[in-house]
Amino acid sequence: MSEEKAVVSRWDDVRLDKMRGGITRKFVHSEKMMVGQISFQKGDSVPAHRHDNEQYTYVLTGALRFLFGEDQTQEVVVGPGEIVLIPSGLLHSASADEDTFELDIFCPPRRDWIDGDDAYMRQ
């Protein structure tokens, strides 16, 4: 039986992806989970989308305004030191009320991010 080993990643060594607007993203993942480091400029937005992955978004600086649900009427602003759980399959969108730095944690990992198939983030 092989012994599992800890893996250390350095954010400075992780590829930076330039997304829509001024959004930038870095992420690391294992077989079972993923952590992304996302930066937004004030006014940047992520269109409404859904995925099978559970998601936590933890805002370190700035503020993200989320709209949830099929009619996008549940509004939640997440600020520094706050974390929001987005359940699997829940339609959601986001916009940055100010320059924002946040972490996204997914379980399982986002296959579309890994494969570069997340067109909604690249338009």
Instruction: Report the pLDDT value the prediction gives residue 58, as an integer from 0 to 100.
Output: 98
Q: What is d(CA 85, CA 99) in angstroms, rounded to the nearest whole number?
A: 21
Does residue 122 have a pLDDT over 80?
Answer: yes
The answer to whether 37 touches 82, Cβ cutoff 8 Å, is no
DSSP-assigned states of every residue in 11-80? GGGSPPEE-STT-EEEEEE-SS-EEEEEEE-TT-EEEEE--SSEEEEEEEES-EEEEETTTT-EEEEE-T
pLDDT tens digits, 56-105:
999 999 999 999 999 999 999 999 999 999 999 999 999 999 999 999 99
What percentage of the chain carries pLDDT values higher than 90? 91
DSSP state of 122: T
Q: What is the pTM of this model?
A: 0.92
Domains in the chain with CATH codes: 16-121 (2.60.120.10)
